[in-house]
Amino acid sequence: MRWIDGDKRVEISLKLNGRKVRGRAESRTLLCDFLRHELGATGTHSGCEHGVCGACTVRIDGILARSCLVLAVQTQGREVESVEGLGTPDALGELQAAFRRHHALQCGYCTPGILVSMNDLLEREPAPAEDRVREVLSGHLCRCTGYTPIVRAVLDAATRLAGGATGQNPRNEDV
């Protein structure tokens, strides 16, 4: 058993996007705040802080989680994947590139959580129907772009990822 007094800050070590990291947190520190303030991983956005908006969605040990509904101390020894793991500005992941092509974001606040969710969906279900994408997207709130270009981007990424093995569309050209 691990016991942490409420008035103590303790060291937490975990893997973030495959890299070993450590930081300090109180028992009441939320994972989203720990990622942003302590680890400097500001890709994860903190929105509603009660599990509704989806902006802070990450994966813990391969399972999707609202990082506002997880305590930082719960991730001791676990593996967290955040939006930073999906690509870099110079080398966007297939899903990120599709979001850019389809203008699937405006302010970008909700985008990190949506990318993490949709990455999870495409890993589990590589060829989702549009209805399925919309259903999964219902776990996220976007207040400026609207959902249509997001759905298009996810479906396009799914097609390209499926064709990737045969070398189709290597240049990510506009659609």
Partner 1 sequence: MKPARFDYARAGSAEEAFSLLHEYGEEAVALAGGQSLLAMMNMRLADPAVVVDLSDCTELDFARVAGDRVEIGAMFRQAALERWHGTQTHLPLLSSMLPYIGHYQTRARGTIGGSMAHADPSAEIPLAAVTMGAEVVLRSVRGERRVAARDFFLGPLDTERDPDELIWSVSFPSYDNWAGMAFEEVAYRHGDFAIAAFAAVADADTVVLGVGGVAGRPTVFEWPRAALEDIDAELAGAARELEVLSDHHADDHYRRRLLRSVAPNVLARAVSAASRRGSES
Name the site residues for partner 1 (rule: CB under 8 A): 1-7, 26-28, 30, 33, 48-51, 54, 57, 63-66, 68-71, 73-74, 76, 117, 120-121, 135-136, 138-140
Determine contact, residues 67/127, Cβ cutoff 8 Å: no
Strand order across the beta sheet in which 57-60 lies: 19-26, 9-16, 79-81, 57-60, 63-66
Determine contact, residues 82/64, Cβ cutoff 8 Å: no
Structure tokens belonging to residue 24 = 């300090």
Of 10 and 101, CB closest to partner 1: 10
- Dist CA 155 CA 133 (whole Å): 8
CB of 123 to partner 1, least distance (A): 12
Of 52 and 169, CB closest to partner 1: 52
CB of 133 to partner 1, least distance (A): 10
CB of 153 to partner 1, least distance (A): 17
Of 16 and 65, CB closest to partner 1: 65
- Burial class (CB within 10 angstroms; exposed 0-12, middle 13-18, buried 19+) of 155: middle
Of 61 and 164, CB closest to partner 1: 61
CB of 38 to partner 1, least distance (A): 14
